[in-house]
Amino acid sequence: MSNLSKVILIEWIIFISCFIYIIELQANECLDECGEMGIPYPFSIAGKGKSCGLPGFEINCKHNQSFGSIHPIPFLSIPSGEVQILNISHHHLLINATQFVASTSNCLGHRDETGFNISSEGPFRLSTQNRFVVIGCEAMGMFAIGENNNLSSGCISLCAVATYSNCNGDGCCQTSVPANYTDYQIAVTSVSLLENDTDSNKSCNYAGILDENSWDLISHTLSFTYASISLNWSIPNDTCVSAKTKGSYHCVPDAECIDVGWGYQCNCKHGFRGDGYSNGTGCKDINECLDPSLNDCYSPSEGGRCKNTKGSYKCFCAKGHVDGTKNGTRCSTRKFEIIPVAIGVCVTLVTVLIGGCFALLILKHRQARFVKQSNFRRNGGTHLQKLTSSEADGVRIFSLDEVEKATQSFSPNLILGSGGYGTVYKGILSDGILVAIKKANSKQVDSKEIDDFINEIVILNQIRHRNVVKLLGCCLESPVPLLVYEYISNGTLSDHLYGDKYEQHLHWEKRLRIATETAEALSYLHSSASIPIVHRDVKSSNILLDNMYTPKVADFGLSRLLPMNQTHISTVVQGTMGYLDPEYFQTIQLTEKSDVYSFGVVLVELLTGLKPLSFERAKNQSNLAIYFLNTMKTTDLTEILDSRLTVEEAENRASMEKVANLAKDCLSVEGEKRPTMKEVVQELLWMRGGPRPHAWLNSDAAQKEEFVSLLMDAEANQEQTVEMTDLHPHSEPLSFDLQSFRENLNGGR
């Protein structure tokens, strides 16, 4: 081979090697954008090199003609498929929520139920910016969230006045969604207020969990163009301390590491700008001197000078001048003799410092007192003081200092439970008394919540019953009002029925006693309180149990006083899904029978051990009340009886069937056909071995024959009147005319 050929061969080898290197370099290049969207670290575009981001943050960047964009679009892969990413910001991710919105049958492409699920091992969780929104007329939306869907809530949207702008229940309703979860299930249904409504007459209704800034009301529908779900993101399955120990720490020195529960986040400290991550933009010092809005130094024209320091800055004046900050002494062109001035300045500073300390202490004390007084007025303290002595007498007003000391400044270790209403803390007062303190979730309550709070104080203060939780007092000096109750140590009935916190099984006799005593408490509210009280939120999680399993009815925030001589009051529909009285929902008229329906659901819970609302069951079984009634029509109780009770079924079969029949009566669609709580108590006492309920409460022929026999015996003894005593221990004897009653009975036959 000639020398020329060797040179040409070497040149070709070098050219091919360079070409291959360039191709590999491009293949491993870390792209920082997809179409028109920036892709910050630790996110990366799938297939562009392993060092571009962190595992779990991969994004698919591709063209998709169905989205109508000529640019590539970023997508996130989740178990249910791919979702479009709308925006990536510091610790927040917005994704398209259109496919996760449920809709009724009259909607195009309707989905009665839908769900959303992301990996619990991944970096994403639902953020606090989301709301559950239902839009439509006569629409009921529900959602279940968390492990095993153990948290459920919802709201009802009516169309009484047709003003949709506030989303306050008229045409649109909304409620908060717990944060830091990875999955949820949604269902929406149209509930007719008219018997002859058909599907064609019903409106198109929607329900979805959406970012609070991304949805809008347009002709009663969701604006899907901007609807999105907000997700938090962090470095998953690790903590700041653990990451530093393992050498997998991703924060730069000028960043703060924040543990968020399922991982950690990096935030630049004050005076720095960036994402805080070592492989991202890190944290760069901000030169405050370049931007007059970031410093308070005098300008050079005023004799001042600004010097940038790491994370901050300093202000100077020319030699011989006093101060360089705008909140200090203005830079002056006058020259001072240094020593006399220094002595004078020092004496002045010491005097000012001592006086300032005293003034600051006095100012802080006054400011704290002013804030507490302001909170007291805003939280209804003035309203509470205006109540009559009979309503407000005995309500202890706790100071904020007392409550904070009792709860160790609301320590997370003292949390007893939480939900949509707020959080309950365990506390110990200075005298050693154990208490439970309820604190709302919101940072500040609105006027409606203040009304509910004062309502609960007034109602609870009138109640004196061993099966109703005792209100000890309240605190009005905090940003949100606090209620202080007696401490009930054994959790809630729902915890024992289908929670995993308590291992001890509730035997049937114990369940029957809990049902009886709970019914006695409700009967007392309806019949024996100074003014009849409708609880309006009877449910197993509002029935507390002490160490002897004595039930205590709690949470009277939604309760209403029923004026004398009135059978009902018209009010906005409120309550808990699964326990809500259908007649109350349709007529918006609250009666004592609404509590009876809810108690019927509790009876079914005691029989079945099932939750009142669950997306894990089949669709026709998701609502426990409907499932129970349909099952009892076709089969017997055994099919849905709690498996933990089957070993006791033989000896307690009779009482179980009686409770099931009582539950069916309580769950009647028409309130008039439901028994009163007093009648419910009589039935339950009879099941536990008490006297048989008054026979005239039933109307079948066999019972009438029993009455005739009773009347004949009475006539034989030539008695003209009979006195019967109600089973309630505080009632007066009931007298009636024997002959008149006999005539009415025969006439009824």
Residues classed as catalytic: 537
Phi, psi for residue 386 in degrees, rounded to 5 = -80, -10
Q: For residues 684 and 737, what is the distance between their CA atoms, to the nearest angstrom?
A: 29
Q: How far is CA 492 from CA 54, 125, 143, in A?
A: 43, 28, 22
Q: Which residues contact 627 (CB under 8 A, 6 or more apart)?
A: 617, 620, 621, 640
Q: Which two tokens stand for residue 451?
A: 């009304």
Q: What is the dihedral of CA 399, 405, 410, 414, to 10 degrees?
A: -130
Cα–Cα distances in angstroms (integers) from residue 533 to residues 393, 521, 551, 563, 568, in the given order = 19, 11, 18, 9, 11
Cα separation, 317 vs 336, in Å, equals 13
Closest of 533, 538, 560 to residue 551, by C-alpha: 538
Question: Among 47, 201, 181, 55, which residue's Cα sits nearest to residue 137?
Answer: 201
CB 594 within 8 A of CB 581: yes
The residue with tokens 């000391």 is: 405
Strand duo 415-418 + 482-486: pairing: unpaired
Side-chain half-sphere CA neighbours of 3 within 13 A: 0
Q: Which residue has the tokens 């590539």?
A: 72
- Preceding omega of 42 cis (within 30 degrees of 0): yes
Asked if 562 and 530 touch (Cβ cutoff 8 Å), the reply is no
Q: 589-590 and 721-724: which strand pairing?
A: unpaired
CA-wise closest residue to 214 among 87, 327, 115: 87
Per-residue DSSP letter, 526: I
DSSP letter at 419? -
481: number of Cβ within 10 Å: 27
Secondary structure string (H, E, C) spanning 207-263: EEEEECCCCCEECCEECCCCCEEEEEECEECCCHHHHHHHCCCCECCCEEEEECCCE
CA atoms within 13 A on the CB side of 326: 11
End-to-end CA distance of the chain: 127
Q: Measuring CA to CA, which residue among 381, 364, 365, 360 is closest to residue 478?
A: 381
Q: Which tokens in the block code for residue 668?
A: 């009647």
Cβ-defined contacts of 58-67 (< 8 Å, 24+) = 59/34, 59/85, 61/31, 61/34, 61/35
CA–CA gap between residue 357 and residue 454 (Å, rounded): 40
**Category of 566 on φ-ψ map: left (φ > 0), alpha (ψ -120 to 50) or beta:** beta
DSSP structural state of residue 613: B
